[in-house]
Amino acid sequence: MKTENSVKVLLPLGLHTPEMKEKIVEMLNGREGMFKGSVKEEKGMKKGMTHEEHLDLAKALLLIDKLLNDAGDTIGRSYGYSSRESKATGTLRKKLESLRSMLDTRYHKVTTDEQFLKQGHVYFGERPKTEAGGK
């Protein structure tokens, strides 16, 4: 089964917890649901994403970033950090960073101040600083 082979490739990267394996299998099988039908059309115009849809997508993109980072480390240790393969993972992470930045801008348009104080910069896994200056 294609999905099982993909999961076996990812497991040596330290992602072998039962929860992580289940999440990866769901994403690879396309049954995640958070992406399906999330963009609604209205008279030919795209409506955009809701705050909740941004939260779900941000979790998935953070997971992808972690997977790419782990893959890059594995490739770098195996073939050298200056190898074409290792540089390719860096390029992918830069593209993903750019996408997360664009989505973060749209996230702030549909997020209230109260929601932001509670959740922070969800696309970057950052919480806002508290009034005392800590995180």
- Write the CB contacts of 11 (distance below 8 Å, at least 6 apart in sequence): 21
Helix ranges (DSSP H) in 11-134: 18-29, 51-79, 84-109, 113-119
What is the model's pLDDT at position 130? 62
Q: How many angstroms separate the CA atoms of 5 and 92, rounded?
A: 22
Q: What is the pLDDT of residues 86-117, one digit of tens each?
A: 999 999 999 999 999 999 999 999 999 999 99
Beta bridge pairs of residue 41? 46
Instruction: Provide the residue ranges of all domains of the chain, joining segments of one domain with +.
Output: 1-36, 48-135
Q: Which of 82, 79, 66, 76 is nearest to 17 (CA)?
A: 66
Q: How many angstroms separate the CA atoms of 34 and 58, rounded?
A: 11
Q: What is the pLDDT of residues 56-77, one digit of tens each?
A: 999 999 999 999 999 999 999 9
User: Does pTM surpass 0.85?
Assistant: no
